[in-house]
Every structure is written in C-alpha cells, then in structure tokens.
Chain A
Amino acid sequence: MSEESPSAEVSPHSNAVSGETSMDKSKRYDRGIRVWGAHGQEALEAAKVCLLNAGPTGTEALKNLVLGGIHSFTIVDGAKVTPPDLGNNYLLTADGLGMPRAQCAAECLKELNESVSGSYVEETPRSLMTSSPEFFKPFTLVIATQLGETDAVTIDGICRQHGVKLVLLRSYGLLGYVRPSVPEMCVTESKPDNKVDDLRLSNPWPELAAHAAALDLSATQEHVHSHVPYALLLLKATKHWQEEHGGKLPSSYPERTAFKDLVNSWQRHVDGIPLDEENFTEAISNAHKVWAPPSVSSELQAVLDDPCAASITQQSPDFWVLVAALRRFIEQEGDGQLPLEGSIPDMHASTQQYLDLQRIYRAKADVDAAAVQAHTRALLEAAGRDPSAIPLPDIKHFCKHARSLRLVRCRSLEEETGPGSCRGSALRQALGQEDTAANAALYVLLRAADRFHQTYQRYPGTFDGEVEEDAALLKSQANALLAECGAAGGTVGGGGGVSDDLAAELCRCAAGELHVVAAVVGAVAAQEAIKIMTGQFVPLGGCLIYNAMACTTSVFAF
C-alpha cells in the first residue's frame, strides 16, 4: 500500500511469525491446495483485500479468506463496537466495547493466521469513497458489505475505474444477497463436474488408427486378450461397423444394440460359454462414447464467437490471443475438432497396453498444442508483440482445458439499477415463474427497502409499533420500483406487486444481521472471491438471492 494511504497498521503480536516456512505453509493450506492447486494458492497469497463494514456479514467473509491465506486485508468501518455487535459477530470482543469496530475486527482476524497482515481505517465507506476514491486502487479485491444501493453504485464505479474486482454482499433479516461485479472474467480452469472423455473413437488420427489396426485380437493369447483396453476394442468395432454400414455410425437403438452385440461376439468362449472378460464388459458400458463424443458447449461457442477473439491487438489479454489461436486450430489442423486433451480414463488393461495407449494420446495432445502455439506466435507477431510472450506450458495448460473455457461478464450496478437500462422484462419473467417468484420478489423488496431508507432515514420495521404500516409502505415502494423498471404485473397469479407475506417478513427483521444468515452470505461471497482471485471455477454472473426461510437460492442477471 502507498505511503499516503490513511490506513493504520495494527501492531503485530509480539511473537508474530513472519517467515513461516514453505513446508509449514504447504501443510497448513493442504486441504485448500487440493481444491485450487499450488498455483491457486499462490494467487491467494498475493491478494490484497479491502473490506467495507465490519458487521458479521463482512467479518465472516473476510475470516474465510484470512484462513485460506490471502496476503493482507484492510478494514474500512466508521462505527464503534456496541452491544448488538456482541450478539451477532464472533470477530468483535467485549473488551473492544466503545473501540473502533474496524480496529477490533482487524485484531481478531489477524489472530486467525499469523502470516496474513491486516490494517484498518476508522472511517465510513461513504466518506472514504467521497474523499479518496484512489484509496481503493492498490487492492486486488474489494468486499463491500451492507451498502445501500447508492453506495453500492459508487464503489462499483470506483472499482471499475481502477480495475479492482468487487464482490457486494448483504444480509438483511432472513434474506441474503451476493453480487460479484467484475466487467469480464475469462476462466480457463472452470473444472466442470461432469467431463466427457475425449477418446476420438469414431474419428481416430492416423497413429491411433494404426495402433488399433496393428492389434489382431484373434491371434492374441488369452491373457493379452482379456487385457486389451476398452478404447482399442471400441476403435476396432467402430471401424468394423463403419466398413459394413457405408461409413455410418450406429444411430438407432437396434443398431446400437447390434453394435454392442458385435463387441460381445469378440469375447473368448470356452465350451460355447463367453468368458465374461472385464475389458469387454467395460467396452459395452462405454460404447456410447462412440456415438456421443464430447461436444462444443454453448458456453464454449460463445467464447469462440466473442468479438474479443476476432481482432487481436497489442492490448488484447493473453486469454483472447489464445482463443483466437484456438479458433484457427479448429478451422485448420483440427478439422472442426478441439485440441486433444490427452488424458485417458483408467481402463481394465495390462500395464504395458495401457501405457502404450496413454503415450499415443499424450503425443497427439502435444502435437495439437504445438499447432496452437504456432498460431499464437503468428497472432502475437501480427499484433506487434513478442511472439514468445506466451510460453509453451501456458499454451499446453490452455489446450488441456479448452473444452471448458468460460466467460463471465457482470453488468455494472449502474446499468442494473438504472430505470433506462435495467432488464425489466427479465425481472417480470422471474416474478412470474413459480420457482423464482419468491426470490425475485425478495430482490425487489431489498431494493425497495433502500428507497424506504432514503425516504424515511430508517429501514422498515425499525420500531415495534410500526411494523405493519411499514410493510404497506414498503410494498408500495416495491410496486413503484416495478412500474419504473417496466416489470409490473408479472407476479405469480397475476395479482401484480409482491406478496404481502414477504413484505411483512422483510419488515419483521428490520434490516437486522442474524449471525447465521451473515455466515452463509459471507461464506458464499468468500467462495466467489476465491474463484475470482484464483481464476478457477465459475463465478456468479449476476446477483444471488439467498432465501433463508425456504432454504433456496436464485441467480438473476437483471
């Protein structure tokens, strides 16, 4: 952080360990490294995080990041520790009553991990945003909690201007809200749950086809026969089938059954009874990989078709240079296919037969990556950059994950909330659908509560005697908002407006921060922060509404 920054260093504990050895670190962070890898951990350890407001929503979010091993944090909060803080915030202490909340939280958070440094600023976020918007420039990420809509729009503008990533979050009674705001996130390692193996069974490259052809099943000894990897069996069966069916693949159910019967018929028999060889059983249960190879997902297609990949300039981020190279590969060497990923699943096989096969797939992946590298070099050179600016390991890494590339773009808060630019029709649709109606209504009510606050300088439900009246006022604010966005009349049942029950529930909790809701919301935001900082997994592309009454969530991109 710069010298001018108005932050005050919290005095470190007398025996604070600054030089934790890398061995200790790899042990301490082992369970996280198994999720995001050593390179993900490195990214976290370089991250400087700024927290706005040290209520439980904020401290819980930051707690999870400090435990994970970020570089440092700075807390901005203008309040003093008061009794309600001791009823909902674990990271404030009774000893701290009357002290700055920012200081007390910073001290408690530093205790959680001696290798993370922390500082604080005793000032309200609004005042700091107004007086020194430059303050936020050095941070990797800002975690902005419990801000009303106006302040949220302001911090979003500041962060976008300085290229600082932002996650907004709020807990409000039994309602939670998490909203990343990063203009563009290009994800190479999206780590999808269900990966389809890319085996090229129906369109093998020459080396793979030759390897399969070289194996004469009928001439093999029994032990070898029962240890031929299923991929080879399927390659042979597919070739056989195509020769007999004019080059076509089995497409109907009877054809696919016949295909499996063909594979089955190659099993060894003793006295007319098939031997039940395990590799053949595997081949039959994996036969769908012949006619259902992995496809190009709509998400990947959107990345490939993005205008950013169409024209590469000197300023183009490496990701887009690589996407442009990938496109050229698909059109040219790939003949419509992506670069081969290169890894194969385990198959019942002898060590030698399996390793031979693995080598062939890996070699092809290397050849494909080399082709992508050539395109990359050409693109870089044409853009006036050093052709070797993107090293081969990075290109290989990109090719390995090419099938699951993802792109997430978040609209600015100003666009989302502006009456001229908000997506009223999407909101109307969400309010009209059974599964999203309640959560869309909560989204509207949360924004209505901010308007209520602007009008009356208090949140609805603050006073015991006025809860019902406030609910009616809140509802009319919500309906006015819907009308403004062009989203009126879209509710379930067509009654218009939001439900009385939900408006009443929002007033019941009077903007209170319940610890458990804060813990859920803070931790969801911490997950988003980790995804954004490591560039792994896929961050939210809109706002998340957490409904603690129904235990549901919805994601809206309005």
Chain B
Amino acid sequence: MELEGRWRDLDYLLNRQGNVVGPGFEPGPEIREFLQSDCRVLVVGAGGLGCELLKDLALSGFGCIDVIDMDTIDVSNLNRQFLFRMQDVGQSKANIAAQRIMQRISGVKVTPHHCMIQEKTLDFYEQFHVIVLGLDSLEARRYMNSVACSFLEYDEDGQPDLATVKPMIDGGTEGFKGHARVLIPGITPCFECTLWLFPPQTKFPLCTLAETPRSPAHCIEYAKIILWPKERPDDTFDADCEEHMRWMYDKALARASEFGIQGVTYQLTQGVVKNIIPAIASTNAIVAAQCTLEALKLVTMCSSGLNNYMMYSGTDGVYTLTTPYERDDKCPICSAGVSFDAAPSTTLQELIDMLMKDPDLGKHLSAPSVSYGSTNLYMRGALEQQTRPNLEKPISELVDGDGSVIHINDRQLVAAMKVRLKFGPSNGEMDS
C-alpha cells in the first residue's frame, strides 16, 4: 500500500496543467502510474553520476530502473558514491547500488547488470524508453551512441520515424564543472555530430619521454610506457595493484633525479598513470539531478525540455550556458545517409577503398562489410567467399540507382553507417 500523500510534491507537477510545458502535456494521475509501472529506464554506470541518477530517478517517480556497470567499489569512490560504504569495497557497484536504492525507497525495482556494456545485445537496449549515461570515457559514450542510433529509421521523406527514436541523456563532470545534454537521435546531435566537444587527450611524444624529459609527468609516462614493458614484460600492469603503482613511482622518481627534475609524487604518479579526473560529490549531484529532470520532462512533457546542452561551471561564482547545438547532416551514425559521390561504373572494391580513404567516414572503418537492403553485397567472415565475386562488379549493377542507401558495417561500429550513393558521371578520374 502506498502511503497517502507520499508523492504530493511530484503530483503538483504531474497532475496540474502548466503554462510552460512540453508539447501534448496531459496532466493526470496516469502519468505517475506510467512512470512507476511501465516506463523502463536504463542507467549506464553506477559510479559518481550513476549513484546520484538512481536516487534521483527513484525519487522522481521512476519505478523500473536497470543499471549496468562492470566496476567494483574502490576506497577512492567513497568521497562521492554515497550508496557505498567502506565494507562494500571490492563488491559490484551495480549490485550494491541496486540493493541500497531498493532498501531505502519502497516500490522501486532496480535490476543490476554487473557486466560490460558491450556484453548486452541490441534487444536488451531496445526495451528502454530512455537511457541515461553516467560515464567517464568517450569510448563508452560512442559505443552507447551507436547503440541508440542503431534503432533509428527514417521515412521516405527523410524524417526520423519517431517510434524508432531512442533518447539518451548524458552527463559528465570534472572538478567543479560539468555538463548535461539531451540526445534524441535524428533530432538533436549525437556524440559523433559533436565529437569536437570532447577535448583531445594530451599525449607526449616518445622522443620527449626518452630523450628530453622536462616535467614530472614526462618521467612518470616514461616509467609506464617504456620501462614497464622492458623490465616486466611478463606482468600485465594493474593500476589498482599497490605494488605495481609503487614500482612505477620509484622508477619515475629515479628518472626524475637522474635529470634533476623536481615534483614527482606518489599522488601525481597515480594521477598520470590512471588518468584520474578529479571528482567531487556536489558536481556529480548537480549534473545527475539535471539529467534526471530532463529524463522526467522527456517522458512526461511536464515542463519545457533542455535544448540540448547545458554546461555548468562553479569555479568563478556559478556560470551556466545552455546551447542548442545542431546536428551534422553528414553524420554517418545518425543521419539518413551520408551522400557519397561515385561513378556508376565504380566497382564495389573501388568503392570500399574510397570509403576507407574518406577523411570523415574512413575513421570509423577498419574492415568494412557492405549490404544493400537485405542483400549482402560483401561480407567479412563466413560469407566472404560467397560474396567476394561482387567486388569486381560495378556498383550500378548491385543497387537500384542514384540515391540508393547502402549500409556499411565494421567491427569498430555497433550500428551500420548509412551511405547514400550519388551517381556522378563516369569520368577518367573515377576509373583510374
């Protein structure tokens, strides 16, 4: 039995008509019933953001939550991952987080998945109404992006079929700063559309590390990249093993004193080796709550939604900026098909070579397979021999004509890349 009045404050928002609401908002008790019983939400990551997200979703009326995380709990998580205690160290984050939420908040079901995101099938991801990301790596974000975009289909007019749109909400933090964004494939930009929003990682040139180290970080990277493989070729480096980290520190320190460089500390060694991002409870809480609010708006239309990116900085007073970023029409992951010029006489082999060399598309590809509708044009693996003869055929014999969309698959991609062939005139340059 639900306690009378428990959801009073949430019900004001869901049961009363508002003047600043999303399209088609119909207030009423059905909304909370839907949230509690039918709406499925997936939280990816049970770390700093994940713990907050689970609490926020559960206290925003979401009743069926799944959480996926392969990590186990570490002491250094306890400064912000409030669902975990000292005695939980070493246990699965997803399992403990799910337990704690269900113990505290009655009526909520949290299903934990202690595994990698890559271990789940597309069918698993398809069952959720909304996916909320609490991740700390670009790689994992790109993977989830390709999952969400893989469901997207366009109608004949090039408009996204709304039934196939799988919305995602993404959050991220570093120190006092963070961001929340709403990704609606086909409508707002996906991660690939705005990859430039993620700063490139600083990498030191090898010759600097080997010959002209100048900073403590250079000495630490030297120990990690050059000394470890040389001196301990049979050990796999484990950043969570204290003996390994101590070894790294000692070697870096020795290197630094050899060159007269000051400032190598154990803390810095850990930071450089593990690429540690400073993380605190408050920033995670801000970002996760903003993400949850957007999930609630997206599902219920109870208020106007974030369009589509909010950055937050608490370093100098509080500064936020809300920006409506635009989709990249040429995005191979979320668009209806990237236009690609090819002469009708181009062979499939030549077309594959051209795709691999293309600066925008080639970066997603290593060993592509090509299909057209339900027809396999060229497949790697078991069907390779069977489809190999197609490589010599001109593309005009394999597809229906100008504007045909072929699907390119690659082991680097979860979802197929869609390429819309534009048949230019046959010319010498193409044939050569």
Contact = CB atoms under 8 A, between A and B. Distances in A.
Interface in A57-103: 60, 63-64, 67-69, 82-84, 86-90, 93-94
A545 to B, nearest CB: 10
A355 interface: yes
Interface string B283-296: 11110111011101
Nearest to B306: A551
Interface string B246-262: 00000000000001110
A35 B278 contact: yes
Contact of B317 (A60, A464, A540): A540
Nearest to A92: B104
Interface stretch (B11-19, B123-131, B364-372): B11-19
Contacts of A527: 176, 282-283, 286, 314, 318
A513 B9 contact: yes
Interface stretch (B52-60, B334-342, B376-384, B420-428): B52-60
A342 interface: no
Interface string A529-558: 011000001111100100011111101000
B314 A30 contact: no
A14 to B, nearest CB: 14
A551 B59 contact: no
A351 B261 contact: yes
B213 interface: yes
B5 A537 contact: no
B286 A514 contact: no
Given A35-B176, A86-B3, A548 B285 contact: no
Contacts of A190: 316
B29 interface: no
Interface string A448-486: 000000000000010010010000000000000000000
Contact of B289 (A24, A89, A94, A523): A523
Interface string B98-139: 000000111000000000000000000000000000000000
B176 A519 contact: no
Contact of B212 (A26, A351, A541): A351
Interface stretch (B38-46, B77-85, B227-235, B408-416): B77-85
Contact of A509 (B12, B208, B212, B283): B12
Contacts of B286: 519-520, 523-524, 527
Contacts of A346: 214-215
A370 to B, nearest CB: 20
A502 B18 CA distance: 10
Given A30-B267, A351-B259, A523-B285, A551 B290 contact: yes
A300 interface: no
A526 interface: yes
A516 interface: yes
A349 interface: yes
B318 A32 contact: no
Contacts of A490: none
Given A90-B104, A174-B303, A551-B290, A544 B52 contact: no
A520 B290 contact: yes
B281 A516 contact: no
Contacts of B398: none
Nearest to B321: A552
Indicate the size class of the contact surface on chain B: 35 or more
B322 A550 contact: yes
A500 B3 CA distance: 35
A375 interface: no
Contact of B320 (A114, A515, A552): A552
Interface string B269-312: 01100001011111111101110111010000001101000100
A512 B288 CA distance: 20
B8 interface: yes
Contacts of B197: none
A200 B10 CA distance: 59
B374 interface: no
A350 interface: yes
A373 B293 CA distance: 52
Interface string A334-367: 0000000000001111110011000000000000
Nearest to B270: A30
Contact of A32 (B8, B278, B296, B316): B278
Interface of A: 17, 24, 26-35, 56, 60, 63-64, 67-69, 82-84, 86-90, 93-94, 111-114, 173-174, 178, 190-193, 227, 346-351, 354-355, 461, 464, 467, 500-502, 504-505, 508-510, 512-517, 519-520, 522-524, 526-528, 530-531, 537-541, 544, 548-553, 555
Interface of B: 3-10, 12-13, 16-20, 52, 55-56, 59-60, 75-76, 78-80, 82, 85-86, 104-106, 175-176, 180, 208, 212-215, 259-261, 267, 270-271, 276, 278-286, 288-290, 292-294, 296, 303-304, 306, 310, 313-320, 322
27 contacts: A24-B75, A28-B78, A30-B276, A31-B278, A63-B281, A67-B80, A68-B79, A84-B9, A87-B7, A89-B59, A90-B55, A90-B105, A111-B85, A113-B78, A350-B212, A354-B212, A505-B20, A508-B12, A513-B9, A515-B56, A516-B292, A523-B282, A523-B289, A548-B303, A551-B306, A551-B320, A552-B320
